[in-house]
A and B are shown apart, each in its own frame.
Chain A
């Protein structure tokens, strides 16, 4: 996410809210406070050593040891004339790996024209229409059951492209009896030379990413959705093979690479009076497009997913015991692309770990806008300590 001077951002935000002559404005805020305690040996000693030498922050941002402020998120929605809607979302957050620094992020900023239920057109910065977690819960603690963002959808790991700048067309048709078939199709700037760099203002690589999603919603229980989505992109980057190696992209000896990225996602959501299930899986592949990569790098696969099961008990279902399992399987060395990080003209390779984690906990909603969580997580692979306990107070209003 881009870093802006807070004053400039505030001015832009204010200008957007006042000049648009909005018919109806709505401002919401999301935030959370955490206390975490991690203990035990690393789940994988070799991963811990590799991480210590070449890694970035290993912990999900909500589960460091000690007290933690993750951030506060402000979402402004304005219903404008001519069936237009503006949404601006600004996040004051602690970046993963920077435990003492806040930054200002523009999470989303788009204008949407609502022509009909079947056709809406969105332009700007939006969540890539992939799956359920990324579009619906994203990383807002208040909306999630667990305190921890799954690695698969962690923006700062870059496995799934969480945001897109571009155009999105979306809508729904009704086959009957309150069933709905929703769709989304987006074209955007796509991936940069490393997976966590964003391409907001320009995209010089000559290709745009394309994402498509179909989702069926049925009037069963409180909520039922099943959806499939996929994205395709071409990535222009540089070949950096050794952990810790730094290459200058202006150096003619630095080898270029071009990759074709294809991702597929399937999700199932079922929420009833008593139980809730969220299941989502992702398959992603990177294929050499120039023909200059050796065999292990030329064709790599990522598999990941999460399954969460929770129950609704207590007054009005306000207490939710839950279990969740997260997993991300990476190719050797995280493949040719996912381990790259860039800063200006320099590009390096960091250690990115696979993860496999089980979480069990309970949430309690003392009020509709306040959620308390207590959970234990066990890391089965990767450099993290095996055990963690996290308490969280998440709010929205």
Chain B
């Protein structure tokens, strides 16, 4: 009897643990907007992040040139929808218009989160985005998180 109850409890615990882990994984994914560790900015609103990536503002308050960097990876779509609030098509059209009317080019594109860490860590004024899961201790030494969104 006790053995049977223990087995059921164990099974229930395993199911519960699995569900909890799944929910944590689903609810816990976050995208971090990061800048170079030496930047004077400690936090930014989502509107401000948007204006820097769309090159509507091109200077930090300190006067430093803003150098946005974007990724080719799947995180880019999350960044567009959660931070810029734009679809991929809107984003593409936006840059066609900006290139035409203002001779502005889109942010530099790198392959993945590791490349973002490398670029932002090395470049004053740089701003990028990265999945929080990719922010290890070494990356945190080079970068400062200034805005976080969940997805």
* A interface residue numbers (CB < 8 A to B): 24, 26, 28, 30, 75, 77, 79, 83, 85, 87, 112, 114, 116-117, 135-136, 138, 140, 142-143, 174, 177-178, 180, 217, 219, 316-318, 365, 367-369, 396
Contact = CB atoms under 8 A, between A and B. Distances in A.
B89 A318 contact: yes
Nearest to B56: A180
Nearest to A366: B89
Contacts of A178: 45, 47-48, 51, 56-57
A63 B88 CA distance: 31
Interface stretch (B25-33, B98-106, B110-118, B127-135): B98-106
Contacts of B47: 177-178, 219
B87 A316 contact: yes
B72 interface: no
A28 B63 contact: no
B105 A77 contact: yes
A87 to B, nearest CB: 4
Nearest to B100: A75
Contacts of B100: 28, 30, 75, 138, 140, 143
8 contacts: A136-B101, A143-B100, A178-B57, A317-B90, A365-B93, A367-B89, A368-B88, A368-B92
Contacts, number: 64
Given A24-B105, A316-B89, A77 B96 contact: no
Contacts of B105: 24, 26, 77, 79
Interface string B43-63: 001011001000011110001
Contacts of B57: 117, 174, 178, 180
Nearest to B96: A396
Nearest 9 Cβ contacts at the A-B interface: A368-B92, A368-B89, A316-B87, A87-B103, A117-B59, A136-B101, A178-B47, A85-B103, A77-B103
Nearest to A116: B59
A117 B58 contact: yes
Contacts of B97: 136, 143
B136 to A, nearest CB: 31
Contacts of B65: 83
A180 B47 CA distance: 13
A30 B105 CA distance: 16
Nearest to A177: B47
A116 B103 contact: no
- The interface size bin for chain B is 20 to 34
A26 B99 contact: yes
B87 A28 contact: no
Nearest to B65: A83
Contacts of A83: 65
A117 B66 CA distance: 10
Contacts of A365: 89, 93
Given A116-B63, A136-B101, A219-B47, A28 B90 contact: no
Interface centre among A116, A217, A318, A368 (most CB of B within 10 A): A368
Nearest to B45: A178
B89 A219 contact: no
Contacts of A116: 59, 63
A232 B8 CA distance: 88
B89 A135 contact: no
B1 to A, nearest CB: 59
Contact of A135 (B45, B90, B101): B101
Contact of B90 (A24, A112, A316): A316
Given A26-B105, A77-B105, A143-B100, A219 B92 contact: no
Contacts of A174: 57
Given A83-B65, A369-B92, 8 more contacts: A30-B100, A77-B99, A136-B101, A143-B96, A174-B57, A178-B57, A365-B89, A369-B96
B103 to A, nearest CB: 4
A174 B60 CA distance: 11
A28 B63 CA distance: 31
A379 to B, nearest CB: 29
A117 B59 CA distance: 6
Contacts of A369: 92, 96
Nearest to A318: B89
Nearest to B87: A316
Nearest to A77: B103
Given A117-B58, A180-B56, A28 B96 contact: yes
